Structure 1
Amino acid sequence: KFKNWYNSERRHSSLGYTYPWVKLLAATESSNVA
């Protein structure tokens, strides 16, 4: 499930690559904590 979400996010974030990665890492940490 994570891979599908990641691929979808990557598709939408292909123009801005660095900032989406920051959001992705933050979302991943939030998911792990929750």
Structure 2
Amino acid sequence: MLFKPSIPRFLVVSSIPVALLAVLLLRSSLNPFGRV
């Protein structure tokens, strides 16, 4: 892994669910009728 030691691990872990939420919001906004 090419993670710099200056980047805290909790910052990377906390950014993962934020990215997932952003993807879900983008998918729901682009395809409002695609919810299953």
Which protein has the larger Cα radius of gyration, Structure 1 or Structure 2?
Answer: 2
TM-score (norm 2): 0.45
Q: When the two structures are superposed, what TM-score results if normalisation uses the length of structure 1?
A: 0.47
Answer 1 or 2: higher relative contact order, Cα 8 Å, separation at least 6: 1
